[in-house]
Structures are given as C-alpha cells and as structure tokens.
Amino acid sequence: MTTWWDEVYTGDAPAPWDIGRPQRSLVRVAERGLLSGQVLDAGCGTGEHAILASRHGADSMGIDISPAAIAKAKAKAAERGVTARFEVADVLSLGELGITFDTVVDSGLFHVFDDKDRARYVTNLGLALRTGGVCYLMCFSDRQPGEFGPRRVRQDELRAAFSDGWTVESITADTFEINPIGEATDAQAWLAVLIRR
Ligand code: SAH
C-alpha cells in the first residue's frame, strides 16, 4: 500500500525535514552521552537519528511506516558504514513489537498525530520504553508563526499528553532545521525530555 508518507519519500525533492543530517539539538543530546543503550528512532524517516545514536555507541533501531523511507535509511546506513537496524512498522502498535528500549528519539513524529492517535502513540511509547527510560521529543511549537507545516503544539498539550505514567523533566524552546521554504531555514520547536515512570 502506498501511503502519503511514501509519496513524500519518492518525490523529486527531499521533504522539508529531510535535511541529510541529524537535527542540531539532538546532536547536542547525543554529545552529552544521552542516546545510549537500546535506542529507538520513532518515525525515523531516512534514519539520521538512529545513525547518530549508533555513532555514539548505541544499539539503535529506526522504525517508520513508509517502506520508501526505510529503504533510504538502510542504504544511508550501509553507505556510511554504520550498524543500525531499520524496520517498517506503525508506532501506533509499537507495544506489539515486544521490544523494550532504554531511550527513544522522536524528531517530528508526535506533531503529525490528531488527538486520538496522539493518545494511542503515547500509550504505545509507554509500552516500549523501560521504567526510567527517556524519550527526547522534538515537535513544532506554537511559537512558530504562519500556516505551513505540521500542527503546532503548546507546552501544556505536551504536559497533558504525558501526564499519566511519565515525568516531564523539561521542555525547552529549540529549533528544527529545515530545507529552505522561501526564506525560512528553521522552525520553532519544543524539545521535551520525558521520563517513563
Ligand atoms: N524523524 C524523521 C522524520 C520526521 S517526519 C526526521 O527527523 O527526519 C515524520 C515521520 O513519521 C515520517 O517519516 C513518517 O513516514 C513517519 N510516520 C508517520 N506516521 C507514522 C506511524 N504511525 N508509524 C511510524 N512512522 C510514522
């Protein structure tokens, strides 16, 4: 089945978020040694953050609903000589994979879901993250003006989504680097650090 996401990854130009390198803010997280153990890159796209975690010594895995994205991620990892596993899977059924992770990276996934799927995502994330495990989540922020791109997320929405079974360690204003859209080369984001209780 070809999904909308698959079409994005088979188009002529890379998607705005598919910048060919990891997000600067998540590189900083990795450089602090925080992407460690078994790491899941949820909605990994072409795999930059799974590759980043691997390069920092993690046993990393990326999953995405788009087969085209996963094919690109596998090719990229092979080309760069990095060991990271990639699989086509739906994060809304993550609990069924039966794998538990120490760390999760979510770069631009949380903000794609409507309210119903958001709740389902958080439940499944909770099933896949061990107690004490940490999720580093970057989403579009309500501080981003204009209409382009995904839905904006407010801090209080993040706190509400992760109110049951999680500790919201911090939510920090940050930026997404994007492929240029007009004159814009970045977009306002929140970087949330969420601990599974
Ligand atoms: N993390 C990547 C991609 C962000 S775009 C990056 O930083 O570049 C959001 C990604 O989530 C897309 O690759 C899309 O295919 C994927 N996605 C959307 N819904 C999904 C779902 N239900 N399960 C798994 N992946 C999903």
Asked whether the beta carbons of 26 and 136 are under 8 A apart, the reply is yes
CB 79 within 8 A of CB 16: no
Residues with Cβ < 8 Å from 102, sequence gap 6 or more?
36, 37, 38, 39, 129, 130, 133, 134
Q: Is residue 19 part of a domain?
A: no
Looking at the 3D structure of the chain, how many domains does it have? 1
Note the pLDDT tens digit of each residue in 136-147.
Answer: 999 999 999 998
pLDDT at 1 over 60: no
Instruction: Indicate whether 46 belongs to any domain.
Output: yes
Task: Tell me 72's DSSP state.
Answer: H
pLDDT, one tens digit per residue, over 145-174 is: 998 899 999 999 999 999 999 999 999 999
CA 170–ligand 1 middle distance (angstroms): 23
- Judge whether 179 lies within some domain: yes
Residue 2 has pLDDT above 90, yes or no: no
Pairing mode, strands 85-88 and 184-196: unpaired
Residue 16 inside a domain? The answer is no
Which of 21, 74, 112 should be mutated for ligand 1, with most atoms under 8 A from CB?
Answer: 112
Please tell me the predicted confidence (pLDDT) of residue 103.
98
Say if residue 27's pLDDT is above 90: yes
CATH of the domain at 181: 3.40.50.150
Q: Which residues line ligand 1 (CB under 6 A)?
A: 5, 17-18, 43-45, 48, 63-66, 69, 90-92, 107-109, 112
| Mean pLDDT calculated for residue range 35-60 | 98
Whole-angstrom Cα distance, residue 84 to residue 60? Answer: 5
Is residue 24 a part of any domain in this protein? no
Mean pLDDT for the chain? 96
Per-residue pLDDT, 18? 98
Residues of the domain holding 168: 4-10+31-196
In a domain, 183, yes or no: yes
Asked if the structure places residue 23 within a domain, the reply is no
- Max alpha carbon distance in the chain (Å)? 44
In a domain, 104, yes or no: yes
- In this model, does residue 188 exceed pLDDT 70? yes
